[in-house]
Structure 1
Amino acid sequence: MKDGFLRTAAATPKIRVADPRYNAKQIIELMEQGESRGVRVMAFPELCLTGYTCSDLFLQTALLAAAKEELKKIAQASKKLHMIAFIGLPWEHEGKLYNVAAAVSGGRILGLVPKKNLPNYSEFYEMRHFCPGNERALWIRMEGEKIPFGMNLLFCCEDVPDLVIAAEICEDVWVPCPPSISHAMAGATVIVNCSASDETTGKDIYRKDLICGQSARLVCGYIYANAGEGESTQDLVFGGQNILAENGTCLMESRRFSNECICADMDLERITAERRRMTTFPTAGAAKEAGGYVTVNFELERGLKEESRPVLRYIDPAPFVPGDPAQRDRRCEEILSIQAMGLKKRLEHTGCKQAVIGLSGGLDSSLALLVTVRAFDLLKIPRANIHCITMPCFGTTDRTYSNACAMAEKVGATLREINIRQSVTSHFADIGHDINVHDVTYENGQARERTQILMDISNQVGGLVIGTGDMSELALGWATYNGDHMSMYGVNASVPKTLVRHLVRYYADTCGEKELSDVLFDVLDTPVSPELLPPEDGKISQKTEDLVGPYELHDFYLYYVLRFGYRPGKIFRMAVQAFEGRYEREIILKWLTAFYRRFFSQQFKRSCLPDGPKVGSVAVSPRGDLRMPSDAVSRLWLDELKELEQSVYRERKGEAGK
């Protein structure tokens, strides 16, 4: 296991009812297949060693004895495997029968977890055969070895400290207070469910929602293994719907009515990072003690060399942007509403009926204008009270200038043009700067002049200066301090650059005004640029992504740095897989290093940001999500990146030598 990724599996063997020997063989074969695929935690269905549909045959001594003997064989087979597996079977204890999940690993039966909630309604009549399981563990003997028997067992992996497994069985998760709640509060990061849930119309949708919802509520991984073909169809059909979920997300789901073994990598670091971040998630100690939990230790990677195999899960290259078009449209509408409602409240509170926006013809200022239009419409303030100021200077192109003018006209705002060439030239003369030297002073002088004009006009009209900068720029410090960095309300402050584009496109698609849509589509086709350097042949010469790197990479880095606190090496590995075929490893590493350098060095700009609405789970406001010292040192992170750089160089050199 590397970088916290744990390979898990839910397997449905094709069984024979009341034939433990045959069923054990199928289970062992699936375990061996799982081993070849790198599986470390594997779950099988409820009572799969005998079949869930044995009915009164569960009362036959021969069946119970055979199941116990075959469980020993499965445990013995696990000795050569690097996994822990959970297998369902009936178990007799002190003259009573229990429906249990047996945990086996390293050649041993680690523990037996009984089912607590026995359904006895509709098609189910488990209480005819089984007794509810005890919560606190008892110790039973099996061939001289003591084995814990009880619901409150935590299987703790000694060589993977974040891996703590607990189990529940089928109906346990369907009740108002599932055992998995107590298990997670006691420290379990992965819940296993051995299930035999039959199929009825529409049940699969509810079942999936239930499992994913439980994993979200408990901030855990959830392995759900369901019975399938092979069970008796005397009255029921089992579809083998297996589900692997992580904190609300379905990582993998099997096809129904087709026995399958599904595998996916759960991210234990993601789970523990989320719990660490949530101050409302309880500490495990008290719950563990109150529940009388027994800890069972085991090892997974005995003598196993760490492998860098591909991560078996989808890694979204655009974590801020939903891939499904319908969901993306819903997200865009929601974000535009949040932005507009935030500005609406600020306008109401201050009594302002005027707004001032520096309109450049670029994406960010276009989005800010569209949000302001929404807010003004909500307040029933005339759009003419939105003052769009276009301020051409040395780097302004005809394309962006024309788009700014057309956009202001199409939305009904008031447009004002102020050419700042003369004032900036005069300012350079005042400070003794050679106008032919196109350095940072040359660029920032223009940005600060624009901000000064916006602030002064806001005083003239009694309005608010609306900030246009987005979260990606703030993370990189790609803003002129006290220039475009400053405003009176920053509507885009928590919107990443990759999402800005989709918001503008969504508005263009849904506004119902063709002329405005045409302008917005041309804005979308315009390269991202601050336009602070003179154009070449009338075209933009200064392209932001050539200077700071692709925003799709930086937004990927930003998400995993701030949302989960991942190490640079893990983010690099994920990025290589997410952007395979689009960026070489060296390019990904180059811009990841640039991200960390800029992110640490530019915190002083984020420490004094204007107010602005939070729209997603990641934000950089110093008053909420990112309370980071401006003088923090980046050495730990950059040192790790240096090691990665050397490793990538060695790999590349080795590939070249073949």
Structure 2
Amino acid sequence: MKDGFIKVSAGTPDVRVGDCEYNADEIIRMAHEMEGQGARIMVFPELCITSYSCGDLFWQETLLNEAKAQLIRIAEETGDVNGLIFVGLPMEYNGKLYNMAAGISGGEVLGLVPKINIPNYNEFYESRYFTSGKDVNGWVTFCHSDSSDTEYPEYEAMVSPHLLFICPQMPELKVAAEICEDLWVADPPSTCHAYHGASLIVNLSASDELVGKDSYRKNLVSSQSARLVCGYIYASAGIGESTQDVVYAGHDLIAENGTVLAESRKFTNGAVYGVLDIRKLVNERRRMTTFQFAADKAQEMESYYDEVFFDLQTTETDLTGLIDSRPFVPAAMEERERRCDEILNIQATGLMRRLAHIHCQNAVIGLSGGLDSTLALLVTVRAFDMLGISREKITAVTMPCFGTTDRTYNNACQLSLCLGTELREVNIREAVSLHFRDIGHDPEIHDVTYENSQARERTQILMDIANQKGGIVIGTGDLSELALGWATFNGDHMSMYGVNGSVPKTLVRHLVRYYADTCGEKKLSEILLDILDTPVSPELLPPKDGKIAQKTEDLVGPYELHDFFLYHMLRWTCPPAKIFRMAKTAFAGEYDEETILKWLKTFYRRFFTQQFKRSCLPDGPKVGSVAVSPRGDLRMPSDACGTLWMREVDKIKI
């Protein structure tokens, strides 16, 4: 529960049709098992106490009485379970029979949610037995099974389709329930639930299995969780139900904001688990102006909600294996390839549109032999191919100076020639040395002046060649460098169109690797693979023994850590302590806690002090959900104070 994380579970118990005691035994056993796995919200299928497929037995008073008795027993025998449990049963209320979802915790039934949308596919379906609970609102009285053990033998539970189950120990956790068909209609009750603050929807279901239905069901759950920016737990009936006419597969699902976190194997009873980040969901809703809550929608929706409270002991959810250390990079190879191609097309299309708009047929790019300029050149080539313009109108400029190594120089030259672009070399040693004399700088002092003079000289050359050619300068700097301010102001920081500005360093690597794997040209692939194997460096300091002396990640920290910090800070607005906790889990075995904390401090310090560089970025295409463009993504003042964030980082103990 700490930091907004909570483990949840959807379970399909083994049931016997009409055998309430046996079914209750299984539910109780599984509830304790789920708690043992760390689950705090546990959801069982629709009508699971009786089984879903009882048919006309639902009219039998004996079955209904036993179902209610077993509900009380389940509540009492799970009283020691640290969690909120949902089970399904038929229940008579005010002379009508309803399909109910019961929320239980602390040994008692807290509330009952009736099903609203009752399917009537044929005369023997649910509408034969059950009434819609759309307008139900009242109370049901329960008696403890052994009233001598309690000071209050009777208690009441609210019955309403508009119930919110709220945890005081985790106020952002607000749980609401809907039942099976409720999700499949045009206007699901969960929409109203979410507008009234529910951050987690549970669905007690008994969806029969047909060919292809599982894919539709999965998409439905995923889409609803995305539309409502919520967690969604879907528990469905399975083996044990009657197979007289249909089969139930126990297809359980857990989703969060469009992502399916867990899915059961069909035709196998059991439980699936997932960890939801409730605070992340609440933060995302707060950012979305299109997500309106009850204050805005209550009158329009003509509904009100009652709140039911349940207690949870505060525990720390185990995140092992759940946090992706490379959030910008898809884990599945097939998805990664599709995503890489899409990103390259977004970058190239953005540049193509800019070139077409200004009637420009020439581009100039500084080619260093490093990853970023390599990607920028590949994108530029693709844009020119789209426009049908000869690649010879792309001028790749290599500008060796004090820190240039043979490896990067040769790779830059070979890459340009292999791609068919014009290669131009401008050695800037003499110009920079003259500049040092002009400003009175000792070239033996390898400070920031020494480094930035080279970067600005290169930018000036690129701009002037662009003037000669009637073209534009293509920027090469990436998102990770911009986040850290690892760019020379008015040097490599500036261009006329920056194609890499929203691509983080970890993703740059995969884009270049994807190009190497799919280009179909052996020579080009070999060059790209060697560039990938080259240490990241601005090459502004003289090499040692012919090798790169200035390695960026030795100075500012590993980019994979900084990309992780950046993603969770900007995309999900996570505070430093939470990011540190997630990073410890994500990078376990790669970086120790001291290293992670060291670079986390560096990240926050640089992020706040370097905003002035991001406030005047050139145009460039946005490719993902995290970007720092001052025009549409990061509206942050350049003089914003990072004291609060640094204070929290300084409080982190290891």
Give the TM bin, normalised by the shorter chain.
over 0.9
Q: How has the CA–CA distance of structure 1 residues 394 and 580 changed in structure 2, closer, same or farther, with 3 Å as cutoff?
A: same
SS of corresponding position for 2:423: strand
Query: Which residue in the other structure is 1:52 paired with?
Result: 52
Rounded to whole Å, the distance in 2 between the matches of 1:276 and 1:79 is 35
> Residue in 1 aligned with 2:89?
89
The whole-number CA distance in structure 2 between the counterparts of 1:171 and 1:616 is 35
Residues 159, 299 of structure 1: 8 Å contact kept: no
Q: Quick one: which of 398, 422, 431 aligns to 2:430?
A: 422
Query: Over residues 497-528 of structure 1, what are the superposed CA-to-partner deviations in whole Å (9 max), with x where a residue is unaligned?
Result: 01111111111222222222221111111111
- The structural deviation recorded for 1:123 is 9.8
Q: Which residue of 2 aligns with 1:407?
A: 415
Residue 23 of structure 2 is aligned to residue 23 of structure 1: yes
Q: Which deviates the most, 325-334 or 235-244?
A: 235-244
What letter corresponds to residue 209 of structure 1 in structure 2? N
TM-superposed CA distance for 1:100, in Å, is 0.7
Q: Which amino acid aligns with 1:632?
A: A
2:361 aligns with 353
| DSSP-derived class of the 1:109 partner | strand
Give the C-alpha shift of residue 211 in structure 1.
Answer: 0.9
Alpha-carbon distance, 1:30 to partner: 1.7
Letter in 2 for 1:611: D
Match of 1:296 in 2: 307
Give the aligned residue type for 2:38: G
- The equivalent residue for 2:151 is none
Distance 1:351 1:160 in 2: 57
Whole-angstrom distance in 2 between the partners of 1:140 and 1:72:
12
Q: Which residue of 1 aligns with 2:543?
A: 535
* Residues 263 and 309 (structure 1), Cα distance of their counterparts in 2 relative to 1, 3 Å cut: same
Instruction: Out of 288-297 and 375-384, give the one that drifted further.
Output: 288-297
Q: Is the 8 A contact 2:111 2:308 kept in 1?
A: no
Residues 105 and 298, structure 1, Cα contact 8 Å, conserved in 2? no
| Secondary structure of the corresponding residue to residue 360 of structure 2 | coil
Matched residue SS, 1:211: helix
Counterpart secondary structure, 2:621: coil
Cα distance 1:196–1:524, how it changes in 2: closer, same or farther (>3 A)?
same
Query: Is 597-606 or 12-21 further displaced after alignment?
Result: 12-21
Residue 287 and residue 153 in structure 1: after superposition, are their counterparts in 2 closer, same or farther (change >3 A)? Answer: farther
Q: How does 1:608-647 map to 2 (within 5 A)?
A: 608-644=616-652, 647=653
Aligned to 2:148: none
1:218 to 228, 236, 255: 228
Deviations 1:262-304 (A, max 9, x none): 2221110111111111111112324345443332231322xx3
**Displacement of 1:47 after TM fit?**
0.3
User: Which residue is 1:241 aligned to?
Assistant: 251
Deviation at 1:204, TM superposition (A): 1.6
Rounded to whole Å, the distance in 2 between the matches of 1:601 and 1:577 is 28
Equivalenced residues, count? 643
Q: Secondary structure at the match of 2:171?
A: coil
CA shift, 1:368, in A, is 0.7
Are residues 27 and 244 of structure 1, via their aligned partners in 2, closer, same or farther at CA, if it must alter by over 3 Å? Answer: same
CA–CA distance in structure 2, aligned partners of residues 229 and 106 of structure 1: 29
Structure 1 pair 157–287 and aligned structure 2 pair: CA distance change class (3 A)? farther
Structure 1 Cα separation of the partners of residues 517 and 23 of structure 2: 56
Provide the secondary structure at the position in 2 that maps to 1:479. Answer: coil
Q: Does 1:153 align with 2:163?
A: yes
Contact 1:170 1:193 in 2 (8 A): yes
1:480 paired to 2:491 = no
Q: Distance in 2 between matches of 1:363 and 1:131?
A: 64
Alignment partners' CA distance in 1, 2:296 and 2:429: 68
Which amino acid in the other structure matches residue 30 of structure 2? L
Matched, 1:199 2:209: yes
State the match for 1:73 in structure 2.
73
| Matched-pair contact (CA < 8 Å) for 1:186–1:286 | no
Q: What's the counterpart of residue 119 of structure 2? A: 119
Partners in 2 of 1:287 and 1:461 — Cα distance?
58
Closer/same/farther in 2, CA of residues 38 and 300 from structure 1, 3 Å limit:
farther
Could you say if the C-alpha distance between residues 257 and 326 of structure 1 is closer, same or farther in structure 2, counting changes exceeding 3 Å? same
1:234-313 to structure 2, matched below 5 A, reads: 234-288=244-298, 290-301=301-312, 304=313, 306-311=314-319
Shift in Å at residue 183 of structure 1? 1.0
Amino acid at match of 1:215: S
Distance 2:439 2:600 in 1: 37
1:180-579 alignment to 2 at 5 Å? 180-288=190-298, 290-301=301-312, 304=313, 306-311=314-319, 314-579=322-587
Which digits, 9 at most, give the CA deviation of each residue in 1:133-161, with x for residues without a partner?
12453334445544322212112222211
How far apart, CA to CA, are the structure 1 residues paired with 2:173 and 2:238?
28
Pairwise CA distance, 1:193:
0.4
Contact 2:320 2:585 in 1 (8 A): no
Going from structure 1 to structure 2, the CA distance change for 1:626 and 1:11 (only over 3 Å counts) comes to: same
Contact 2:114 2:159 in 1 (8 A): yes
Question: How far apart in 2 are the matches of 1:501 and 1:578?
Answer: 19
The 1-side partners of 2:341 and 2:635 are apart by 29
For 2:407 and 2:466, how far apart are their aligned partners in 1?
27
TM-score for the superposition, normalised by structure 1? 0.95
How far does residue 313 in structure 1 lie from its aligned partner after superposition? 6.1
Across the aligned residues of Structure 1 and Structure 2, the Cα RMSD in angstroms comes to: 1.5
Residues 530-581 of structure 1, C-alpha deviation per residue, up to 9 Å, x if partnerless? 0001111111111111111111111111100000110111111111111111
Q: Distance in 2 between matches of 1:541 and 1:417?
A: 23
Deviates more, 1:364-373 or 1:104-113: 104-113
Distance 2:396 2:20 in 1: 77
- Distance of 1:421 and 1:138 partners within structure 2: 84
Tell me the SS of whatever aligns to 1:481. Answer: coil
Q: Report the equivalent of 1:654.
A: none
Task: Give the match's secondary structure for 2:54.
Answer: helix
Distance 2:140 2:518 in 1: 67
Structure 2 residue corresponding to 1:179, chosen from 179, 189, 192: 189
Query: Measured at CA, do residues 177 and 309 of structure 1 come closer, stay the same or move farther in structure 2, by a change above 3 Å?
Result: closer
The residue type paired with residue 53 of structure 1 is: S
Distance in structure 2 (CA, Å) of the matches to 1:218 and 1:292: 18
Cα 1:397–1:342, aligned 2, differ >3 Å: closer, same or farther?
Answer: same
Q: CA deviation at 1:26?
A: 1.6
Q: After superposition, what is the alpha-carbon deviation per residue over 1:420-462, rounded to whole angstroms, capped at 9, x for unaligned?
A: 0001011111111111111111111100100011111111111
Read off the aligned partner of 1:512 and give its amino acid letter: G
437-446 or 283-292: which moved more? 283-292
Specify whether residues 183 and 562 from structure 1 end up closer, same or farther in structure 2 by C-alpha distance, changes over 3 A only. same
Of residues 176-185 and 355-364 in structure 1, the stretch that sits farther from structure 2 once superposed is 176-185
SS at match of 1:3: helix
Contact 2:399–2:428 (CA<8 Å) still a contact in 1? yes
Secondary structure in 2 aligned to 1:56? helix
Cα distance change on mapping 1:312 and 1:139 into 2, 3 Å? farther
Distance in 2 separating the partners of 1:269 and 1:161 = 10
Distance 2:303 2:140 in 1: 17
Once the two structures are TM-superposed, the CA of residue 359 in structure 1 deviates from its matched residue by: 0.5
Identity over aligned pairs, percent: 62
**Aligned partners of 1:196 and 1:291: how far apart in 2?**
29
- For residues 318-372 of structure 1, the C-alpha deviation after alignment (integer angstroms, 9 at most, x for no partner) is 1111111111111111111111111111111212111110110111001111111
